[in-house]
Structure 1
Amino acid sequence: MTTKTLDSKGRLTLGPQYAGQLVIIDDSDSSQIVIRRAVALPVEEAWLFQNEKAQKLVAAGLRDAKAGEFVEGPDLDADLSAFDDE
C-alpha cells in the first residue's frame, strides 16, 4: 500500500508503469476509491463475454484447432460440378 497526495487540481499520479492504461474508478463508497485496470472492447463483441455457453464453445474450438483437430470441410469441386453444364 502506498500513500500519495493529490495535487492542487485533485489529480493523482500512479507512476509510469500505469501510463496509457485504461482504468475504472469506483468512488461509489465515500470512504474509499478503488482503481481497477480495464480493457475496452467493441460493443458488438461484448455479447461473447456475457454468454457462458458461447465462451465454452469458442474455447473448445480453439483447443481443437491448437491440437490440429478439424472437421472435414465441404467438397467444393463436387459442389461446383453442378454448375459445369451452365
Structure 2
Amino acid sequence: MSDLDFRTVKEIVEPDSRGRFSIGAIAKSKTYRVQINDAGQILLDPVVAVPERELWLWQNSEAIASVQRGIEQAGAGEVHDLDSFAQYAEMELEDE
C-alpha cells in the first residue's frame, strides 16, 4: 500500500465506544471496502456494489473484455445498423 497522493483530512480522530470514527462529509453517501496493513494503517477504498445477477460478467475476463471492446467500438463509431427488430416484439419465448 502506497501513501502517494494521500492528504490529511483530520489530524487526529479517536473511535467512540463502539469503534466508530467520524471523518465528516468527505465520506458521505459512499460505500467502502476497509483494508488494514501490518502497520495498522486503515485504508477506506470506495467501491460500487454490483447486483448479484451481473456478478458473472465481472468474474469472466473474456466476457468483460468483449463488453469493453464493444463500448470502445461504439465510441469510435464502428457500428452496424441491423434494421428493426419489431418483428420479434410479439414473439413467444421458450423457457429453458
Q: TM-score, normalised by structure 2?
A: 0.60
* Cα RMSD after superposing both structures: 2.7
* Corresponding residue of 2:68: 59
Deviation at 1:58, TM superposition (A): 0.9
Equivalent runs, 1:28-43 vs 2, <5 Å: 32=40, 33-43=42-52
Deviates more, 1:67-76 or 1:41-50: 67-76
Measured in 2, the distance between the counterparts of 1:44 and 1:75 equals: 28
**Structure 1 residues 1-16: aligned runs within 5 Å:** 1=8, 2-16=11-25
In structure 2, stretches of 5+ residues that fail to align are 1-7, 88-96
Aligned length: 76
Return closer, same or farther for 1:49/1:24 CA change in 2, 3 Å cut-off. same
Work out which of the residue numbers 34, 53, 58 in structure 2 matches 1:49.
Answer: 58
Which structure has the bigger radius of gyration? 1
Higher-helix-fraction structure: 1
Residue of structure 2 equivalent to 1:73 = 82
Residue type matched to 1:59 in 2?
Answer: Q
**How far off its partner does 1:61 sit?**
0.9
| Alignment partner of 2:26 out of 17, 24, 29 | 17
